Structure 1
Amino acid sequence: MRNLVTLTSAAAVLAASLALPAQAATAAPQWAACPAGKGVDPRQECATLKVPMDYSDPGGPMISLAISRIRTAQPGTRRGVLLIIPGGPGSPGLNRPSVQVAKLPQAVLDRFDVVGFDPRGVGQSSPVSCGLEPRDLDLTRLKPYPDADGGIAANAAWSRRIAEACARNGGPLIRHISTRNEARDIDAIRRALGEKKLSYWGVSYGTYAGAVYATMFPERTDRVILDSNDDPDPRKVARQWLANYAVGVEDRFPDFAAWAAARDGDYGLGADAGAVRRIFLELAARLDREPLTWKGANPPLLTGNLLRETMLNVLYSDAGFPVLAGLMKAARTGAELPPANTPPEAAMQNTAAHAGATMCNDVEWPDSISRHERQVKRNREEFPLTAGMPVNLGPCAYWPYKPAERPVKVGSRGPANVMLIQNLRDPSTPYSGALKMREAFGQRARMVSVDSGGHGVYLANGNACGDRAVTGFLTGGHLPRHDQSC
């Protein structure tokens, strides 16, 4: 069986490399100063590449990829490129070099040009939009929270509207946004930069895109960092990522509860972690029945589901704990609620379209309403903090296009050059899912497990042990002999 799997994986990699124009010539980028903007480092340069919209039709329509770089100040020690693969799906990455050069150790900056890009369909890279109605950009629909009673009829109606709007307004590119095509775009960037091999740092969804690249093009990888790892299950892909929110929030909420309990005198949310959890669940249930007016939200109401969604986002970083605690205190005491921080509509339109296209084009999703109703009921009972959202149905149940290709099965064929770094208590990409990524890579990878909470590890939460491990691998190139704990 092991030999059969190895041969099958090898055949899949060969097909991915040969069936599509992976070796096609890509014009060298014409670099120029990036448009000035908040946080843009003056050293950052920008360029545009042309790549096929459909890689099976290389002579057909082309799309634009926006890329950026900050070159090493030490060309004599330069090793190559460190590409930053953004998360999401749907997050822009063009200005990530400006952000990360302020954090990366000098030893890394001496060895690499730091390169960023907006993935196809995002930001400055031929952006897509489904032209959604404002009501359909409600954060508690974009993540499919059931109604207060657990019903999902409203989710089904919303999901149909989104799928129909994307088919009507998304244009031809909407069919060709997928993780496989992002991996091919990454290889086009490598070729355009004249690099034989590519080092990269993928975060969140970027770990899956990076894992797919390392599987499709293993011999073109140099030093690979995958940070906050998705479960790469090829049968479910993003459906499993959504389901993992239930586990991740349960893993992470105790950190917030302990923090709030230690400040009971300030917030009045309970003197111990168990009390904070009970108060959160009671407040969410009350807001299910009696929402409060919340300026800046869409719609302008603090519902139980919007409290749950706020909680999930706050758990990404300890820095957000005061936001959730303050909101809960105000909602419980009748004080004026702090203004909601809702993303701009244009950004939400782009993110929703790209995320939906990626998730729906990567793999088929079940469309049985009765099945989802059963799943939601069980999930609400087992994981009450997320109230059934992680297993609910969404637009992919009604997506008008079939996936053009099967999902990539991440595998162990290729050089041992992959370092996974993972928080033990991550609300979005939980440790249990990261272990599946580690298993999929086999001896190609080592994992550094960090005893910390939140989403994002390297240079994100002050864990010196984890940071040293990643920096040492980037600068020295040697994986540890064994997985490590920090």
Structure 2
Amino acid sequence: MPRISIKVSSFVFLAASGCLAQTQTQTEFNWTSIKPSAKLKWTKCYGEGFECARLLVPLDYASPKNSKTAAIAMTRLRSTSSSSTYRGSLLINPGGPGGSGVEYVLEAGSEIAGIVGAEYDIVGFDPRGVSFSTPSVSWFVNDAERAMWNPPNANAMYHSLNESTIALPYAYARSQVQSQLAAARDAGFLQYITTDYTAQDMLTITEAFGFEKLQYWGVSYGSVLGATFAALFPDKLERVVIDGVLPINEWYSSNISNTMLDTDKVLNAFFTSCFEAGPTICAFHNNANASSASDIAGAFQTLLSSIQQTPVPAIASLTQGNAGYGIIDYTLLKNTIFHALYAPYDLFPALAQALADLAAGNGTTLYATSGVEEFTCGGASALDRSFEAAVSIICSDMTPNVTLPDLRAVYAREEALSQFADLWANWRAACAGWKIRRPGRYTGPTGPMKTIAPMLVIGNTLDPVTPWPGANQTANILFPGSGLLTYNTLGHTSFTAPSSCINSWVYAYFKNGTLPPAGTVCQPDAGVQLFSPNGTDGLIERDLVDGVSVNGRVTKRKLPFRL
């Protein structure tokens, strides 16, 4: 899921002329050195075992011969098996929308290969409009204009619609400006930056590898992409895993309020686990002087209310650029807490310490934990446009235009489900005034769909943004015959915590199509705890957790691209 934002908490002022005078920092691989081709032509890139290519695809699949083209950036970690056991490409999507598959496979490709086996090329691709694929979505003339409108770190932040009395109408007005800006500067391709055309790109990629059927693992929004492929090409599936599932009927109808069903339950697990861990392990336990989990919950709400009325300065360093100082306001605090719900095993200990320090008047720990980064003039890359790509995809997929009364009604429905509705309703706000929608695009299922091969659907019992009922609905109603694998844990997607059980079922599915029996439930590995007596680094940058063994392979579970 994307983290859509209207603003960030720290104001950034820059001289536009100074930015324009500097050259953009180059990535470690120059993608323009690869000439796009209709056939896969691989070039060594980044490091050992990795190769890159740019595949030409039709911009408009409704008229492919008369269409302009898009170039899909792809990175693969090559299979290490013999040619006799090679099984082709396994496409990966890390979510978003707007997440870079290229970047994700560079980071997690070896871990994924350790789970599924050496017979596959692990292939990350940047969806059309995203990151290193071209044309790339950009609403702004240059990076200076982008930073002035949408300051750095906006990609990691939702604006709280409860921060002030005008926050919600202000968000609505800003989104109208963004929608008009996107339309005015559209070079004629934004209507083609949609999930259904990205699904067709996946078929084109699969065929370019010399195979007829898709092999795929998609998490979070990647589940929408995978299910869309299954709906469009039900006879073209070989192995498809969707993990952290948002049902496509809810996605295409813009009815995603139910994604908030379990959000507060994950937060409640923070209070309970903090109390059970005790004051020597959970720092916020001390602050609450807790005799029960309710005491910790009360201290938490008191802190939220305090910051809403009185923001706190955070000064880590005045010599480290913008990363060293800022303001802890209600938006930043709520986002930091919300992000921790995605990865509680990694982030709850750090969150507890940050909250304890903040309650004592020190905002530095929370500011560092929030993931706010230094803005370097002229240092933007294709990845910095992920906000624009995400909104373009979301709003082009979803059907209704948004009015201010619509937004208020959505907010009210979600507020009845979760105290994080003030963040999540930005989904709907982002599409205010958006009118760039391709006629004939896929708009969702009309009934149950049968695929030639069953999918493996994975859902956590307590996922803060893709609750288990979405996985159940997808496996048993939308795509009957799919296998449903339940992970009895909290956090977003099965990558939240190491589980040999999850890994073994995924391996068996990719190896020979084996599905778990109905009612199969996996647990985290023994010793995995929210608050470990042995301590944890708990930093926001930490994205690898303890290694687990899968059929003799040592691997690590990795968090999704977007927390």
C-alpha distance in 1 between matches for 2:335 and 2:155: 7
1:130 maps onto 2:139 in alignment: yes
Change over 3 Å in CA distance of 1:365–1:136 after alignment to 2: farther
Aligned to 1:461, which of 497, 506, 528? 497
Aligned to 1:148, which of 163, 170, 174? 163
* 1:212 shift after superposition: 0.7
Aligned to 1:476, which of 501, 504, 512? 512
C-alpha distance in 1 between matches for 2:428 and 2:300: 25
Aligned to 2:463, which of 426, 451, 462? 426
1:367 maps onto 2:402 in alignment: yes
**Matching residue's letter, 2:337:** M
Mean Cα deviation higher: 211-220 or 331-340: 331-340
* 1:100 shift after superposition: 3.5
Change over 3 Å in CA distance of 1:93–1:107 after alignment to 2: closer
Aligned to 1:49, which of 44, 55, 68? 55
Mean Cα deviation higher: 79-88 or 165-174: 165-174
SS at match of 2:242: strand
* 1:259 shift after superposition: 3.2
Change over 3 Å in CA distance of 1:169–1:298 after alignment to 2: farther
1:91 maps onto 2:91 in alignment: no
Mean Cα deviation higher: 293-302 or 109-118: 293-302
C-alpha distance in 2 between matches for 1:78 and 1:183: 24
Judge conservation of contact 2:192–2:438 (CA < 8 Å) in 1.
Answer: no
SS at match of 1:301: strand
Other-structure match for 1:27: 38
Judge conservation of contact 1:135–1:299 (CA < 8 Å) in 2.
Answer: no
Other-structure match for 2:120: 112
C-alpha distance in 1 between matches for 2:425 and 2:398: 17
Other-structure match for 2:476: 439
1:341 maps onto 2:371 in alignment: yes
1:222 maps onto 2:217 in alignment: no
C-alpha distance in 2 between matches for 1:327 and 1:386: 23
Other-structure match for 2:433: 398
* 1:435 shift after superposition: 2.3
Other-structure match for 1:177: 193
**Matching residue's letter, 1:206:** G
C-alpha distance in 2 between matches for 1:205 and 1:60: 27
- Contiguous gaps of at least 5 residues in structure 1: 1-25
Mean Cα deviation higher: 397-406 or 63-72: 397-406
Residue pairs, 1:50-89, within 5 angstroms: 50-58=56-64, 59-75=66-82, 76-89=84-97
**Matching residue's letter, 1:399:** W
**Over the residues paired in the alignment, what is the CA RMSD in angstroms?**
2.7
Other-structure match for 1:247: 261
1:253-308 alpha-carbon deviations (Å, 9 max, x no partner): 12322333224343334333322322222222221211122465799322222211
**Matching residue's letter, 2:88:** G
**Matching residue's letter, 1:342:** V
SS at match of 2:235: helix
Judge conservation of contact 2:75–2:123 (CA < 8 Å) in 1.
Answer: yes
Identity %: 25
Change over 3 Å in CA distance of 1:415–1:115 after alignment to 2: same
Other-structure match for 1:320: 347
Judge conservation of contact 1:155–1:393 (CA < 8 Å) in 2.
Answer: no
Change over 3 Å in CA distance of 1:348–1:105 after alignment to 2: closer
Other-structure match for 1:12: none
* 1:164 shift after superposition: 1.9
SS at match of 2:101: coil
Judge conservation of contact 1:140–1:305 (CA < 8 Å) in 2.
Answer: no
**Matching residue's letter, 1:176:** Y
1:277 maps onto 2:297 in alignment: yes
- Contiguous gaps of at least 5 residues in structure 2: 1-36, 141-145, 316-321, 523-563
Question: TM-score, normalization: structure 2?
Answer: 0.74
Residue pairs, 1:279-298, within 5 angstroms: 279-294=299-314, 296=322
Change over 3 Å in CA distance of 1:281–1:107 after alignment to 2: closer
C-alpha distance in 2 between matches for 1:288 and 1:178: 38
C-alpha distance in 2 between matches for 1:373 and 1:408: 25
| Number of residue pairs aligned between Structure 1 and Structure 2 | 453
Mean Cα deviation higher: 440-449 or 416-425: 440-449
Change over 3 Å in CA distance of 1:381–1:301 after alignment to 2: farther
**Matching residue's letter, 2:329:** T
SS at match of 1:195: coil
* 1:45 shift after superposition: 0.6
C-alpha distance in 1 between matches for 2:78 and 2:423: 46
* 1:150 shift after superposition: 5.4
Change over 3 Å in CA distance of 1:464–1:379 after alignment to 2: same
SS at match of 1:354: helix
Change over 3 Å in CA distance of 1:424–1:367 after alignment to 2: same
* 1:418 shift after superposition: 0.4
Change over 3 Å in CA distance of 1:124–1:284 after alignment to 2: same
**Matching residue's letter, 2:490:** G
Judge conservation of contact 2:93–2:99 (CA < 8 Å) in 1.
Answer: no
